[in-house]
Chain A
Amino acid sequence: MRAALPLALIGRAVLRGLGSAGRVAIFAGSALAHILRPPLYPREFAIALLNIGWLSLPVVGLTAIFTGAALALQIYSGGARFSAEAVVPQIVAIGMVRELGPVLVGLMIAARVTSSIAAEIATMKVTEQIDALVTLSTRPMSYLVAPRVLAGLLTVPLLVACGDVIGILGGYLVATKSLGFNAAAYLVNTLDFLEPLDIVSSLVKGAAFGGIAALMGCYFGMHSGRGAQGVGRATKASVEAAAVLILAANFVLTGVFFSL
């Protein structure tokens, strides 16, 4: 019996994990179905667009510009070891657009938006506002979840595009102001090197990460436990899940685009 205990623990953990994955998948399916069927709530959608998209722009911009600038310095000093300093524009461009732009924007959205959605919806749950919505003949999936998930799917690619441009700008500023690169040549190298598929992959990743971030916030908010502790746990779990899923999805999507 004792020998079987570790196996039983592993089995229970696997079953719990599969159960959670199933619940999240059902929730995601329901959220997507509610996006496509009426009623739609334009006001809630507009608020979600503002909160997820516009109000995230400053943090996305700051993250991207510092990352692009640091990337330029790293590539310059690393490239110098084998006389490849000249590749700074190309590597900054491809690094930002294919990888760092979407991932960092996704993680910043997970930190800023997922936590805020989870805390808001969890607070609504513990104060019976979600029950109140139901008694007022309003489906929480249509009113709370669908507008946020749709806004995440639509705005995060735009944020990623902004992050890509600002990140490249960060690299450009460091390269031209302190590393001695010619401004025009830097821009020409950047634009010549990028391919349409790089930009498409960046935007697709943005949409996927935006959807994941909003879904995790909604899922953990709607399944929050009671009281302040329940809200805190839901918020923490939502950010952890969103961050891990964004990184996992990044790996899968990178593999998919790499194979094209």
Chain B
Amino acid sequence: MIRLDGVHKSFAARQVLRGVDLDVAQGSSMVIIGGSGTGKSVLLKCILGLVEPDAGRITVDGRDVHDGDHDAFLARFGMLFQGAALFDSLPVWQNVAFRLLRGRLKRPKADARAIAIDKLRRVGLSADVADAFPAELSGGMQKRVGLARAIAADPAIIFFDEPTTGLDPIMAGVINDLIREIVTEMGATAITITHDMTSVRAIADSVAMLHEGTIKWTGPIDRMDAAPDPCLQQFIHGRASGPIAALR
């Protein structure tokens, strides 16, 4: 289980997180929604230890994320970044197998390549793209390579940061389906951040809404539409008027 207790984070005078409390059950798919600039990405980076919270505690399976060997801790995670964040200088298969070519998960190059090609197939890409460089791929293909990299080492926890941003609706649907299938198949705990409501409905077991630095509402996806929270209702229906200011 991932647990956040009273997590605060500020950048200079700007308070981004103002006491976030959130539990994500093991093996479940939590989607965090919220407007642009509300601190969703910062929240993920706090869990990963990329950003240190000013106050509060974050634990994964009872262990504080800042205790012990951080590399070993991160070995349990996979992450799909918003822009895929593929390494330009490496061919696709080496991007996917990055973790398998070095460090504690290192294995022979031929094995790592075979696993990379298998993961590429899993996300609907043929072995032909294995030797291409990221710049030669379309945005949708890059996202899929990023997804293959996130699952390459069969992580127990996977984070998806805006997985469908910048994709056409069909490709967004493909990515949503892939995420749902992979999370179910691997039994992984997943946290996705997005403001795409189609993604929310396709991916989520439960939803949390982040607004003004705190979790405004959280609950199972099937209770989201009937929830009385006016911020949540404004957000999921995309209304310009309501408690959330359109201009932030």
Contact = CB atoms under 8 A, between A and B. Distances in A.
Contacts of B75: 137
Interface stretch (B95-103, B115-123, B236-244): B95-103
B81 A138 contact: no
Interface stretch (A66-74, A110-118, A124-132, A230-238): A124-132
Given A39-B103, A41-B102, A134 B83 contact: no
Contact of B74 (A47, A123, A137): A137
A135 interface: yes
Nearest to A131: B50
A131 B77 CA distance: 13
A17 B102 CA distance: 39
B85 A132 contact: yes
A127 B85 contact: yes
A260 interface: no
B48 interface: yes
A128 B78 CA distance: 14
Contacts of A41: 102
Given A39-B102, A41-B102, A129-B87, A134 B82 contact: no
Contact of A137 (B81, B89, B99): B99
B85 A137 contact: no
B79 interface: yes
Interface in A91-125: 123-124
Interface in B131-154: 149
A136 interface: yes
A123 B134 CA distance: 15
Interface string B81-113: 111011111000000001100111100000000
Contacts of A131: 45, 50, 81, 85
Q: Bin the interface of chain A by size.
A: 10 to 19
A132 B45 contact: no
Nearest to B83: A127
A138 B103 CA distance: 8
B105 to A, nearest CB: 8
A136 B50 CA distance: 12
Contacts of A127: 83, 85
Q: Bin the interface of chain B by size.
A: 20 to 34
A132 B87 contact: yes
Interface string A34-52: 0000010100000100000
A74 to B, nearest CB: 44
Contacts of B86: 129, 132
Contacts of B77: 135
A39 B101 CA distance: 13
A41 B98 CA distance: 13
B103 A128 contact: no
B71 interface: yes
A137 B78 CA distance: 10
Nearest to A129: B85
Interface in B4-19: none
Contacts of A139: 71
Interface in A25-40: 39
A137 B102 CA distance: 9
Interface string B46-90: 001010000000000000000000011011011101110111110
B79 A135 contact: yes
Contacts of A129: 85-88
A217 to B, nearest CB: 16
A132 B79 contact: yes
Which of A123, A129, A132, A137 has the most chain B CB atoms inside 10 A of its CB?
A137
A132 B74 contact: no
Given A131-B45, A132-B81, A138 B87 contact: no
Contact of B85 (A39, A47, A128, A138): A128
Contacts of A123: 88
A142 to B, nearest CB: 10
A137 B103 contact: yes
Interface string A126-165: 0111011011111100000000000000000000000000
List the 5 shortest-distance A-B pairs measured between CB atoms, nearest first.
A132-B85, A128-B85, A137-B71, A135-B79, A137-B74
18 contacts: A39-B103, A41-B102, A123-B88, A124-B87, A128-B82, A129-B86, A129-B87, A131-B85, A132-B81, A134-B74, A135-B48, A135-B50, A135-B77, A136-B98, A136-B149, A137-B99, A137-B103, A138-B102
Given A131-B85, A137-B104, 17 more contacts: A124-B87, A127-B83, A127-B85, A128-B81, A131-B45, A132-B86, A134-B48, A134-B74, A135-B48, A135-B77, A136-B74, A136-B149, A137-B72, A137-B75, A138-B98, A138-B102, A138-B103
